[in-house]
Homo-oligomer: A and B are copies of this chain.
Amino acid sequence: MQSICLVEGVRAAGVREGKYGVALIEASGTAAAVFTKNQVFAEPVRLMRERMAGGALDGIVVNAGNANVFTGVQGYGDACRMAEAAAAVLGTVPERIGVASTGVIGRYMPIELVTSQIAEAGGMLRSEDTAETDAARAIMTTDLVEKHAAVVRNGFTVAGITKGSGMIAPNMGTMLAFIYTDAEVPAPILQKVLQTAVVRSFNRVVVDGDTSTNDCVFCTATGRRGTPDMNEFQEALEEVCVSLARQIAADGEGATRLIEVRVTGAPTEEDAAKVARTVVGSPLVKTAVYGKDPNWGRVIAAAGRAGVDFDPDQATVAVTDGTRRVLLANKGEICADDVMHPEALVDAASLMDGAEVIFEVALGAGSAAATAWGCDLTEQYVEINGKYTT
């Protein structure tokens, strides 16, 4: 097992029929969730904003294929019916079921199919590697790979699955993550540490520069293994979230490589994150990475428009593949160009051929840091999104 079934008290199942899938995950415990900030949000998000006030769940049900957005009263009723169907098979009340959806916006749910898939999944719940895999696969849309993460610490485990094709924009706009731990964490604290972890992970993946209509991250703590050291728990949760976030970036629609942007020397962490997100989301940076072109002018120009004060004459830009590193610009001095430092350009380009390209941007304007993740922009992204049927 590699993810959620490592957590004591978790059983999972997933079924799929064409583009329609349902994942069902059973786990009783305190629970927290973070939702999209989009003004236009899914009906299941509306329902969950009401119900998560309870701070406890017995299970989560997720459907792929229809986002249940802009579907009004009927859509809200459909989200309730998903909760009811899941509650029936899990032997609990609908108020203790988490509901999430992903898929096309502006279509009514094929609710009969979804409830029958929920019943089917109910008969398959188990705690084994094929179960977590089935669940992770059931919620994929244009994802090419399933996404799992787990961190095992002294006395507890934190693990999760996620979906999201996290290119410039995820196709159908949705990033979902379901995280579990067997540590015992009261709901208000769980909510607080989850929010911090999400800010430093999923919110640093550039998925259209913003949350979609359906984005949500749930975290359930089954409590089976008692109270953890809270610093250690926060660290483990963040590690799981970052791992899942990076997997989303790497599986970006049409992507050939992951881009990581590490910003240091910012006035605040929020400022550093703004710059990192702006650089990693820049179409010009994304296409340059696709073309293995160490065009650091695009990096510094994107940093400059992030809305953060800094002096370009104090800024430094480098590229690394994690092993070797080439300085491109250093405190206002050009270190790589085709006239005076052509060998540095060639060196830099040679670092851009792998699965991961890392830009380091030191602003020289403070001591805060942040990292963001994205992927390159390729012809395939256009093809996927230009031809995806409504």
Contact = CB atoms under 8 A, between A and B. Distances in A.
Interface of A: 37-41, 67, 69-72, 104-108, 167-169, 171, 173, 208-213, 282-284, 287-288, 290-291, 293-298, 300-301, 303-306, 308-310, 312-313, 329, 332-334, 337-340, 345, 377-379, 381-383, 385-390
B106 A213 contact: no
A388 B382 CA distance: 18
A357 to B, nearest CB: 13
Q: Which 3 residue pairs are nearest across A and B when measured between Cβ atoms?
A: A105-B297, A40-B304, A287-B385
A283 B211 contact: no
B105 A390 contact: no
A299 B39 CA distance: 13
B287 A386 contact: yes
A294 B149 CA distance: 37
A305 B39 contact: yes
Nearest to A363: B39
Contacts of A209: 305
A169 B284 contact: yes
A39 B70 contact: no
A108 B169 CA distance: 36
A301 B173 contact: yes
B282 A70 contact: no
Contact of A382 (B106, B296, B379): B379
Contacts of A173: 284, 298, 301
A282 B313 contact: no
Contact of A305 (B210, B283, B338, B340): B210
Given A173-B284, A297-B390, A382 B304 contact: no
A309 B108 CA distance: 25
A273 B171 CA distance: 25
A69 B326 CA distance: 21
B283 A106 contact: no
Given A290-B382, A290-B386, A390-B345, A283 B107 contact: no
A363 to B, nearest CB: 10
A296 B213 CA distance: 13
Contacts of A300: 40, 70, 105-106
6 contacts: A38-B305, A173-B284, A284-B385, A287-B381, A291-B386, A297-B390
A283 B386 contact: no
A338 B378 contact: no
B72 A313 contact: yes
Contact of A283 (B69, B168, B329): B168
A213 B70 CA distance: 40
Contact of A381 (B211, B291, B382, B388): B382
A267 to B, nearest CB: 13
